[in-house]
């Protein structure tokens, strides 16, 4: 996950509602029960794979809600920056569950059904259940898209998935998208099994669902790993921070800048700033306090700010901090 305009807002309250997660949880609980009942009637391996997929998705949404709740805990002596990163941890667990419970089970069941094929009984029931499941998943997916659009801006969906700082929406989007594709696989598998009388097509559908879930789990795991390691603020946010620091007369320029998301709603800002040779200690302290207020005004989630005063040397111009150089390059183009 990188940093780019609009992808994962550095301002609180944009697209960070649990509404999409709750909608997905409610839909998946109903879908899981319906699919499993249909599996008991039809014996379809594809429907069983989809039942397990929906159960895994329901557990995943519960994990995401638990992560949101635990992330709101106050900081402690042992965790002095708070618990915001718990949202990333639980989202990573979602990827693990999606792979182990959803993908591995579907692959195993599909291979078993290919080796030992069986006819799909009452295919009409399977088609009705799959149609209902598609409608419910479509509702959940639509809710996730609506919530995501509040923070996505003008970036592509691929960029949003890769760069969003709040993990819940990318996780729900990927799960719902995979669920709709998986239902399509199951629908095709049941049709082919019914038309040809060959139960191996049903097993092939389960294998396809397993491969799909494995790919989605891998993408989600990679993105959550990046957030767990620690991602910087977006380029726009870094630009705003540098401009805010340098807006006051007390500070000559930013020498070094480092930012990191402690959580979706908490940004750490550390910078070395150049002050005048003639400034007093009291003047420097007042200038730093003013700079911190300006930073929080433009980037409200910058809760942790550490500014270190220094004396600027002209020789540092060419060997300075890459992040600051990048910000200045954008400023010169404008």
Kindly state whether residues 63 and 25 are assigned to the same domain. Answer: yes
Last residue of a domain, one of 229, 251, 269: 229
Instruction: Tell me the C-alpha distance between 323 and 334, whole Å.
Output: 17
Instruction: Tell me the C-alpha distance between 204 and 47, whole Å.
Output: 12
Question: Is 220's pLDDT higher than 60?
Answer: yes
- Dihedral of CA 285/291/297/303: which sign? negative
* Per-residue model confidence as pLDDT tens digits over 13-69: 444 667 788 888 888 888 888 888 888 888 777 777 778 878 888 888 888 889 888
- Dihedral of CA 43/49/54/55: which sign? positive
Instruction: Tell me the C-alpha distance between 100 and 92, whole Å.
Output: 13
Evaluate whether residue 13 is within a structural domain: no
* Per-residue model confidence as pLDDT tens digits over 251-264: 888 988 999 999 88
pLDDT value at residue 323: 67
- 123-152 and 45-71 are packed helices; what angle lies between their axes, rounded to 10 degrees? 30
* Per-residue model confidence as pLDDT tens digits over 223-276: 888 888 888 888 888 889 998 998 888 888 898 899 999 988 889 999 999 888
pLDDT value at residue 291: 93
Instruction: Tell me the C-alpha distance between 7 and 2, whole Å.
Output: 9
Last residue of a domain, one of 174, 194, 229: 229
User: Do 175 and 57 meet the contact criterion of CB atoms below 8 Å apart?
Assistant: yes
Kindly state whether residues 131 and 176 are assigned to the same domain. Answer: yes
Chain centroid offset of residue 240 CA? 24
Domain count, the chain: 2
DSSP class of residue 99?
Answer: I
Structure tokens at 292: 């911190």
**Is this prediction's pTM over 0.95?**
no
Kindly state whether residues 246 and 221 are assigned to the same domain. Answer: no
Evaluate whether residue 3 is within a structural domain: no
Q: Which domain holds residue 141?
A: 19-229
Kindly state whether residues 180 and 250 are assigned to the same domain. Answer: no
Kindly state whether residues 70 and 205 are assigned to the same domain. Answer: yes
Evaluate whether residue 11 is within a structural domain: no
Evaluate whether residue 186 is within a structural domain: yes
């Amino acid at each position: 996950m990188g940093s780019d305009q609009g992808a994962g807002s550095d301002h609180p309250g944009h697209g960070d509602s649990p509404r999409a997660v709750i909608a997905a949880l409610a839909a998946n609980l109903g879908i899981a029960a319906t699919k499993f009942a249909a599996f008991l009637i039809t014996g379809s391996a594809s429907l069983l794979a989809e039942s397990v997929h929906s159960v895994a998705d329901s557990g995943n949404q519960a994990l995401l809600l638990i992560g949101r709740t635990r992330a709101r805990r106050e900081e402690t002596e042992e965790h002095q920056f708070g618990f915001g990163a718990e949202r990333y941890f639980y989202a990573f667990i979602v990827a693990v569950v999606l792979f182990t419970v959803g993908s591995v089970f579907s692959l195993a069941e599909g291979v078993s059904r290919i080796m030992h094929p069986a006819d799909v009984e009452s295919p009409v029931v399977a088609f009705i259940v799959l149609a209902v499941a598609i409608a419910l998943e479509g509702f959940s997916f639509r809710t996730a898209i609506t919530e995501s659009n509040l923070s996505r801006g003008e970036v592509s969906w691929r960029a949003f998935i890769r760069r969003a700082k709040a993990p819940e929406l990318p996780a729900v989007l990927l799960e719902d998208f995979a669920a709709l594709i998986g239902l399509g696989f199951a629908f095709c598998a049941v049709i082919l099994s019914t038309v040809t009388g060959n139960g191996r097509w049903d097993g092939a559908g389960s294998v396809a669902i397993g491969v799909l879930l494995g790919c989605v789990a891998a993408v989600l795991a990679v993105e959550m790993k990046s957030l767990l390691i620690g991602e910087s603020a977006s380029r726009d946010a870094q630009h705003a921070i540098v401009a805010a620091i340098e807006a006051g007369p007390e500070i000559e320029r930013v020498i070094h800048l480092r930012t990191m998301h402690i959580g979706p709603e908490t940004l750490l800002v550390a910078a070395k700033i150049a002050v005048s040779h003639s400034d007093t200690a009291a003047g420097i302290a007042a200038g730093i306090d003013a700079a911190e207020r300006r930073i929080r005004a433009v980037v409200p989630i910058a809760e942790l700010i550490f500014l270190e005063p220094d004396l600027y040397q002209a020789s540092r111009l060419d060997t300075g901090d890459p992040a600051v150089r990048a910000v200045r390059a954008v400023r010169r183009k404008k």
